[in-house]
Structure 1
Amino acid sequence: MSSVFHPEGNQKIIERINSLTPITHNEWGTMNVSQMLVHCQMPIKVAFGEMKIKAGFITSFFAKFIKKSFTGNAPLRRDLPTAKEFVIKGHPDFEESKAVLVQMISKFAEEGPDCIKNRKHPYFGELNNEEWGHLHWKHLDHHLKQFGA
C-alpha cells in the first residue's frame, strides 16, 4: 500500500507536485491548481494538530461505514463532497502554495508517524499509522490525477 511515510511513495508525490505549473488545468471538478494545492494542505493540518474540524453526528455515523473505501486500495470517486473547511476560494499564490505543500509532505517522511498529533480522524475515528499514511497518500494522489500529474 502506498504511503506518505514511505520515502519512495513520498518522493513520487513530491515529484508529481513539482510537475504542476500555474496554468495546469483540471480534468474534473471546479478547483484551479493553486486552490488544489491549498486544499491538499487542509487534511494534513488536521493530522498535524494545526487545524480542528468537527464532524456532525450524521457525517460521523455514516463515515464509519465508508472508512474502508477511504483507507483501502480503491481510488477515490471524482464526485466526493469536501468538508466546508477545505473549500478554497480566490486565487492563492501558486509557488507559495506548492512550496508549503511539499514541505508538509516531506515532514511525513522525515518524522514518520510521530508527525500525526491528532490521532483521531474527525470522520473516521482512530486510525493506525498505516491507515494515516495511506489516507494522505490517496487524497494527494486523487487530486494530482485531477490535474494530470
Structure 2
Amino acid sequence: MEIKNMFDKQAFEEIQQRLQNLTIHHQRQWGKMTAAQMLTHCKEAYKVPLTSKPLKRNPISYIGWLFRPILYNSKPYRQSLPTAPNFIVKDERDFEKEKAEMLSITKAFHEKGAAGVGDKVHPFFGKMTAEQWGKSMWKHLDHHLRQFGA
C-alpha cells in the first residue's frame, strides 16, 4: 500500500474528492460507526495537530513512540482496531454537517502546511515530524474512507 502525504497537493485533492463522493447511503464494510460518526471521529483526529493547546498525555504514552511507525508505514491498518476512548462517537450525527466540516478541516490541515504542524506532539505517540503527521493523517482517513467504500 502506498502511503500518501496530506501536504501533497495531489493526495489532498484525491482525499477531498473521495469525501465529496461519500454519501449517507455508503454502508460500512466493518466496525460499528455510521458514516456520519466516522466523519466526526476523523474530524476529532484532525483537531490534534491543528490545535495550539497541548493535549494531556497518558502516562503509558511515554512509550508510544515505539509504536509510532504504524501510523505512517505502508502496512494498512487492520479492520476494527480498538479506538481511543476520546475518539469514540456513539451519538447520532448530521451527515451533511459532518461531511462539510470534514472537508473544511482537511483543507485547513493541508493549508497550514508542514511548517504549521511539524512541531505538534501527539498525545500517545509523542513528537512527530511534519512528514509523519502528513502521512499518518492521510493513512487514517484513507482507512475510514475504505471502511465505507469511498
What is the TM-score with the length of structure 2 in the denominator? 0.89
Q: Which of 3, 6, 15 is the matching residue for 2:8? A: 6
Greater alpha carbon shift after TM alignment, 110-119 vs 123-132: 110-119
1: distance between equivalents of 2:69 and 2:26?
31
Aligned to 1:41: 43
2: distance between equivalents of 1:105 and 1:51?
19
2: distance between equivalents of 1:82 and 1:55?
16
Aligned to 2:133: 132
Q: 1:61, CA displacement in angstroms?
A: 4.3
1: distance between equivalents of 2:94 and 2:52?
21
Distance 1:87 1:52, change over 3 A: farther
Aligned to 2:108: 107
Q: 1:52, CA displacement in angstroms?
A: 6.0
Write out per-residue CA displacement over residues 9-48 of structure 1, whole angstroms, 9 at most, x where no aligned residue.
0111111111111121100000000000110001111111
Distance 1:51 1:78, change over 3 A: farther
Residue aligned with 1:5, SS: coil
- List runs of 5+ in structure 2 lacking aligned partners: none
Q: 1:51, CA displacement in angstroms?
A: 6.8
> Which amino acid is 1:101 matched to?
M
User: Number of residue pairs matched?
Assistant: 148
Percent identity (aligned): 36
> Which amino acid is 1:75 matched to?
P
Q: CA RMSD in A?
A: 1.8
Counterparts of 1:1-149 in structure 2 under 5 Å? 1-49=3-51, 53-58=55-60, 60-116=61-117, 119-149=120-150
Residue aligned with 1:113, SS: helix
1: distance between equivalents of 2:33 and 2:106?
20
Distance 1:11 1:135, change over 3 A: same
Q: 1:121, CA displacement in angstroms?
A: 0.9
2: distance between equivalents of 1:52 and 1:30?
30
Q: 1:53, CA displacement in angstroms?
A: 4.5
Distance 1:137 1:71, change over 3 A: same
Aligned 8 A contact 2:62 2:126 in 1? no
